[in-house]
Amino acid sequence: MEKIVVSGVQFGIEPNQIEANTEKCLKKIREAYEQSRPRLIVLPETITTGFVPGMPTQKFWEMIDPLDGPSPTAVKKLAKQLKVWVVFPMYEKGKEKGQVFNSALVINPQGRLAGVYRKTHPFPGERSWTTPGNALPVFNLGFAKMGITICYEGDFPELSRILALKGAEIIVRPSALLRSFEIWDFTNRARAYDNHVYLLAVNAVGGPDGGGNYNFGHSMIVNPIGQKIAQARGTEEIVSAELDPEPLKYITYGTKTPMEFDHLEDRRVELYGDIMKHRKSPFEPARRIKYKR
């Protein structure tokens, strides 16, 4: 991994106003680039529409963009102009009628789609209008390897661990998180520390979305020893940080005490067979919502 600057951009949008929201995305990407000259810029989850559609799935599907639609095309053009990587999260129109993916497009500095991650673990309320993806890719950006989890997926240690085992040095977490700041804060820091990776978590801010929900922002960048090195507030804001390519030399920040452990290498994998078993919590939630397959 090289020493690089990365940026997360949080801002408010108008529910389901895709053209206007895309224009704001372009404006904010430019602002982030002008502020810090990052090599990687990440936007919040479902940034062209907001998280909850607030309309029937079929109508929503007809409205949103496919991967080669006007919004991705505009962002590709700007990424090429700035020569920067962009993670552009949006609801993606699937090829089948009514098929909607919660996706994060990875756009390279040549203005091309380098890949797409489709959210594999939709939030329960989201399952009525989205189809889960089935792959956990790691993207080689040249200067670093990057994995993606989207919002609720940061609650699952297995996802971040798999990405780390595949070589991810940075995990980005585009989000429209509707729970507490405490959950947001400790899951971000835990996933970074669990796996000794950088975690760039970018949360939506403002509202309401199509379902009347408000987001609290507080995007953050966490280093591989669990230290927050950037923290946004609950307003439109850009967070940036320089990532050290040798972040595990010392056991904690501000000291020269050497680090002598590695959470990946120190695993005793022969004990972990039960991790693949299907289970549910012994404590019942208020209700259970099944995945739409």
Query: 282 lies in a domain?
Result: no
Among the listed residues 157, 142, 66, the one whose alpha carbon sits nearest the alpha carbon of residue 103: 66
Distance between CA atoms of 108 and 106, rounded to whole angstroms?
7
Query: 24 lies in a domain?
Result: yes
Query: 291 lies in a domain?
Result: no
**Taking each helix axis from N to C terminus, what angle separates 157-165 and 181-195, rounded to the nearest 10 degrees?**
30
Query: 285 lies in a domain?
Result: no
What are 144-192's pLDDT values in tens digits?
999 999 999 999 999 999 999 999 999 999 999 999 999 999 999 999 9
CATH of the domain at 222: 3.60.110.10
Residue type, 226: G
Say yes or no to pLDDT of 293 above 80: no
User: Model pTM?
Assistant: 0.96
Q: Tell me the two tokens of residue 31.
A: 């602002």
Q: Are the beta carbons of 140 and 147 closer than 8 angstroms?
A: no
The dihedral sign for the CA sequence 25, 30, 34, 38: positive
Query: 78 lies in a domain?
Result: yes
Q: Are the beta carbons of 207 and 49 closer than 8 angstroms?
A: no
Block residue for tokens 């009628």: 97
Q: What share of the chain is helix, strand, coil (3-state, %, to 5)?
A: 25, 25, 50
Query: 84 lies in a domain?
Result: yes
The end-to-end CA distance of the chain, in Å, is 37
Alpha-carbon distances, residue 205 vs 13, 47, 158, 256 (angstroms) = 9, 10, 27, 38
- Give the residue-averaged pLDDT of 69-90: 98
Q: Are the beta carbons of 234 and 217 closer than 8 angstroms?
A: yes
* Mean pLDDT for all residues in the chain: 97
Bridge partner list, 86 = 41, 107
pLDDT score of 130: 96
Query: 222 lies in a domain?
Result: yes
Strand-strand pairing, 220-222 and 198-203: antiparallel
- Residue numbers of the domain that contains 75: 4-276
pLDDT score of 40: 98
Query: 287 lies in a domain?
Result: no
- The count of structural domains within the chain is 1
pLDDT score of 290: 84
